[in-house]
Amino acid sequence: MKLIVTVFFTILMLQNSVDLDTVLMQYLDSFNAVERNPIRYTALGRTELEGEAIIYLVPHSKVTDEDYPGIVDWAVASHKTGAWAVTFPGDPGYSAAYESLAPALLREATSAPYTIHADPALAGALDDYQLPYADGAWATITRSYRQHGTGRIDFDLGGARDVAAAKDGIIIYASDGHSANAYASGAWWYWNTVIIRHAEHEFSLYGHLEATSIPQWIKDACAASTSSALTCAVPIHAGDLIAREGSTGYSSNPHLHAEFGQGFGIAAYPDTLDEDRDGIRAEPVYAGYLYAEQNVGFSGATANEVARWAYGTLQQASHIAPSPADTNLILNGDFSAEKDDWTPSGQLNWSVQDGVLRILRLRTTAVPDWAAFYQNVDAGIPAHTPFEATIQLGNASSITKTVTISVFNRSGRQHGSIECAFSLPANAQLSLYTLRGVTVNTWASLRFEVSVNPPDGTPAALVDNATLYYRPSITENECITPTS
């Protein structure tokens, strides 16, 4: 819901005998007559239920006498006190008035008949966006499209807070001059925003940004316009940092509001909060916005999948381009350079003999309780990336050993893993084993690990010729042995 109306400082209350239409008309007449007010309003309709209503209004520029396309404003009306009270965004207590409305009314309320909807014929490539925060950082989904509305998603960036461009494009608008949090009054227009044009009819917006957080190199490339907004034409790449998460405008907590649409505008609203402390509340405050919103996908996740992300879902951003499908991601997989590029971890003895890695997990109660060799792979891993790992394994000992091959998010297995545990009989010669699988979410980097069990004093498990490739044809997880 985009809230775009203001009614200066008062809540209008009339006598019990006056109906809502009369109250609303008198209020709008009074509002529209205010000198220097940059906008006027027209009522479009309302949803009313048992003495409460949400009123849908459209703002018009007094300079051009044209409406601001795509903006529908929600005012709140209530008859609970015996007379109609009307509250607009910008009035003190707007949020409290809105939140006190009956859930049944809120479920029915919709401004969809009055909004501008995305035209499917104008939609471009909408599944090629990246998550809009710093590479490797995590964010919590607080509202996905399903909860927040088409093309709108909220991220809690936590301690990282850096906002990044979600796709290559041109910054056309950048504003970080506001410091006001307007949650109590619902005056959304005090938010700071960056708007990026990606193609004809394709824009992204980043809202509620922290004051003065847009990098100076972006500001230096923006010229002040006659509307007191910033006019920009700044080339930007996906993953470039453009601001910091904040809580400006109509925001209850620090978060990033990201929005995607086919059109954009800059609207002027009265300075109802007197942010500049000059005593004048009718002077204009400028705010960027989008309309004709459309859902987009992020880093391998489709738009429909993003819409289903539940509250509390964690997602990691990756802005590093994936390696080509014909590139082996494992370095020194044949151990011709001894253990270069590999890291031993845990309680183990190891050696490289004749180009073969020999690993023994020590029989000890000391921590940690594992024995493994691994290497980290710094490559972009979009959601639904298919992998195939091949490795030669053997067993030079007189007891059965288990060698587990794992590919997992470097941040921890809890964030996604593909794993196969292979049982190797005593005195087994080197043979080819294969792991296949598909990632679920985006990984900023991965870890390839070979671990050995059980702890014993009989050396050694044998490892050679490890490879890891993207394999587009793979659709499911498989563990393939020489006898499969």
Residue 15 has pLDDT above 90, yes or no: no
In angstroms, the CA 472 to CA 98 distance is 50
- pLDDT confidence tier of residue 225, bands split at 50, 70 and 90: low
- pLDDT tens sequence across 351-378: 999 999 999 999 998 999 999 999 999 8
Q: Which residues contact 30 (CB under 8 A, 6 or more apart)?
A: 12
- pLDDT tens sequence across 177-204: 999 999 999 999 999 999 999 999 999 9
- For residues 112-133, give the mean pLDDT: 94
Torsion angles phi and psi, residue 413, rounded to 5: -60, -30
pLDDT for 71 equals: 96
Q: What DSSP line would sit under 63-89, residue for residue?
A: TT--B-TT--EEEEEE-TTSS-EEE-T
**Which parts of 352-414 fold into alpha helices (H)?**
none
pLDDT for 124 equals: 85
- For residues 162-175, give the mean pLDDT: 96
Which has more confidence, 12 or 146?
146
- pLDDT confidence tier of residue 228, bands split at 50, 70 and 90: low
Which has more confidence, 317 or 230?
317
Widest CA span in the chain: 97
In angstroms, the CA 106 to CA 112 distance is 14
- For residues 470-475, give the mean pLDDT: 91
- Of 282, 264, 190, 266, which Cα lies nearest the Cα of 228? 266
pLDDT for 8 equals: 39
Measure Cα distances from 157 to 70, 253, 293, 462 in Å: 28, 11, 23, 44
The answer to whether 442 and 301 are in contact (CB under 8 A) is yes
- pLDDT tens sequence across 64-86: 999 999 999 999 999 988 889 89
> Helix or strand or coil: residue 232?
strand
Reported pTM: 0.91
CA angle 22, 25, 28 (to 5 degrees): 150
- For residues 422-449, give the mean pLDDT: 97
- For residues 397-410, give the mean pLDDT: 96
In angstroms, the CA 12 to CA 83 distance is 10
Residue 159 has pLDDT above 90, yes or no: no
- For residues 326-332, give the mean pLDDT: 95
Residue 3 has pLDDT above 60, yes or no: no
Residue 231 has pLDDT above 80, yes or no: no
pLDDT for 227 equals: 58
Residue 10 has pLDDT above 70, yes or no: no
- For residues 80-102, give the mean pLDDT: 91
- For residues 9-25, give the mean pLDDT: 65
